[in-house]
Amino acid sequence: MPPELAIELSGAFIKAGEKDKGMELMGQIVQNNHADNNVLKRVQETFNDLGMTDEGTAFVADTKAAIIRINNKGVDLINKGMLVEAIDLFEKAADGMPSNLVINLNALRAIIGYLLKMGKDDRYLQKCE
């Protein structure tokens, strides 16, 4: 679902008293688009419109920080040559954030690094598809 539509749906859930559903969806939007300032701006505008400015600001900041921590940990593992560990971390992260471009690109970076170091491995080649 495109982020704009998901944001609208999330806001509708919250307005209808289904705050948990709305916040869960909003979390997925932020997780999958944590580096897209246009999407994050629209998310914050929606929180503002719902009278949730402070809660929304904290929610977006906390969600972004968690994604950045995961990404930084994975990049650190890559830089230390711990490629299998990096692949595992990014794979788990991507399962929860399948549309997160940064996470997916770093997962691919870890896999390519592994393949260059260890040679062809069908398990990891299949993950690139």
pLDDT digits (tens, 9 = 90+) for 1-48: 899 999 999 999 999 999 999 999 999 999 999 889 999 999 999 999
pTM higher than the cut 0.75: yes
Q: How far is CA 107 from the centre of its chain?
A: 12
Q: Residues of 31-60 as b/e, b for ≥16 C-beta within 10 angstroms?
A: bbbbebeebbebbbebbeebebeeebeebb
Give residue 129's pLDDT: 64
Write out the DSSP string of 49-104.
HTT-HHHHHHHHHHHHHHHHHHHHHHHHHHHTT-HHHHHHHHHHHHHH-TT-HHHH
Spatial separation of the C-alpha atoms in residues 43 and 91, rounded to whole Å: 26
What was the pLDDT predicted at 127? 67
Identify the pLDDT of residue 1.
Answer: 87
54-85 pLDDT per residue, tens: 999 999 999 999 999 999 999 999 999 999 99
- Given its phi and psi angles, is residue 121 left (phi above 0), alpha (psi -120 to 50 degrees) or beta? beta
86 pLDDT band (50/70/90 cuts)? Answer: very high
